[in-house]
């Protein structure tokens, strides 16, 4: 599964990896957001076939 980030228009195949490397999110931040809402980042990424 590939995703395109709506923020920077780059493709990636791992949303968490992308958020950490490109957008400098910390893993702790991402994990706590996902725990609160597993769909937290879905709106920010477009699924590509």
Q: Which residues bind Zn ion (CB under 5 A)?
A: 5, 7-8, 22
Q: How far is the CB of 28 from Zn ion (least distance, A)?
A: 19
Judged by beta carbon, residue 7 or residue 32, the one nearer Zn ion is 7
Is residue 10 a contact partner of residue 22, using CB atoms and an 8 Å limit? yes
Judged by beta carbon, residue 22 or residue 31, the one nearer Zn ion is 22
Q: How far is the CB of 34 from Zn ion (least distance, A)?
A: 16
């Amino acid at each position: 599964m590939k995703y395109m980030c709506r923020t920077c228009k780059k493709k990636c195949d791992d949303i968490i990896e992308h958020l950490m490397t490109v957008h400098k999110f910390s893993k702790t931040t991402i994990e706590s957001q996902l725990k609160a809402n597993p769909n937290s980042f879905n709106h920010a990424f477009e699924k590509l076939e």
